[in-house]
Amino acid sequence: MPETSIERPTTRASGVRDHEDAMMIPALDLSKNARRLLQMLCKGQQPSTQEASETLEVTDRTIRSLRAELEEAGVPVKSRYDSHTKRFYLEPEDQGHYLEPLLLTERQMEALTVAAEAASSVLRPTHYHEPLKKAFAKLQRDWLSEAITFEPREEGDNWHFGGLPQQDIPRETFRVLTRAIREQQTLVLDYYTASRDAWTEDRRLDPYLIAFRGGSWMLAAYCHEKEEVLDFSLAGMKNIRPYEPKGSPVYFGANDAFDPKEHFRGRGGALAGEEWVEVRLLVEPKAAPYFKRKRYHASQTIEEEHADGRLIVHYRVRGLRGFVSGIRSWGRLVTVLEPESLREELTAEFYELAGRYLQG
């Protein structure tokens, strides 16, 4: 498979190339008309030689030469007979986007390598995981002989993005939701509400975006039943389908009032629709250095620092759903001062748990 020539960057006297020296990533080296023909095939068209020649305004002989050029470049062009007419085409999985040569610096290559590792971990349960791995493997193959300051195949060993909670969500769920978001198509589905331990059938939603927050995959969508934008757990969805009251899909327009950044601001793992809550914690001296060094929520502020090393830490959070688990993890090193409702909840949990241990 012919490739574009790779321009070797200038090598320093020390033999080490600068991070910002550019390198050419090989791609298909095609003539203008061959690329135009490839674009036709990538759109799913299956022209005959005559039809292709009329579209590109070239001779039949030129079309045959262009097809040979594509095949020599490694494009898997296939042919079939439609009655007595020979047509050529690409299989759906081969109808990709064949890029022009890509010029990247080594630092950009290194950044993409790390980004691919991170994305692969987060997207593992989705339908994008395998395509991402295959696409990045192609890039790595072309980078191997070019990278000098890092080793593409070993860079992943220097980073760890594992350990993320993975919910058992069918990949088809991601595929259907992604398509509906892209096409602005209204959906209807059955949804499980954990707080009520009940299923709601035929919930009608306008899906806006998919988010991974607090270890859970969520969909931000306009709920026609509640008439507001809410968050829905993907793990609680089933029987997802287009909303077709008259036999054809229904589409919604863009909601200019919806701002993803504002939608999730200050919420942590809370769901949309939950109220803002003021939280104050008494942090013991052994845990104080952690709270000084790290912000566990965007709203975190240290209000007081006592002489004995204890801290009063304040938060303003939207809902306690995702926040309480963090408080529990600190055990006796953190005491809730307010809200009173949370103090009562944790106190009741303590006595229930203590009773279980005392009963043996």
What does the pLDDT look like over 226-284, one tens digit per residue?
898 888 989 889 999 999 998 999 999 888 888 887 777 655 544 455 677 899 999 99
Instruction: Enumerate domains of the chain plus CATH numbers.
Output: 32-94 (1.10.10.10), 103-158 (no CATH), 171-258 (2.30.30), 276-359 (3.30.70)
Taking the C-alpha atoms of residue 310 and residue 16, their distance in angstroms, rounded to an integer, is 51
> Is-contact 315 267, C-beta < 8 A?
no
The pLDDT tens digits for 65-74 are 999 988 887 7
Average pLDDT over residues 24-52: 82
At 221, the pLDDT band (50, 70, 90 cuts) reads very high
Please, are residues 230 and 223 in contact by the beta-carbon 8 Å criterion?
yes
Whether residue 214 has pLDDT greater than 60:
yes
CB 291 within 8 A of CB 302: yes
Which tokens is 252 given? Answer: 């919604």
> What pLDDT sits at residue 58?
92
Report the range of poorest mean pLDDT among 58-67, 97-106, 112-121, 128-137: 97-106
- State yes or no: pLDDT of 143 exceeds 90: no
pLDDT at 245: 92
CA proximity to 211, closest of 199, 219, 202: 219
pTM of the model as a whole? 0.58
| Helix and strand totals (H; E) in the chain | 10, 13
User: What band does 146 get if pLDDT is binned at 50, 70 and 90?
Assistant: low
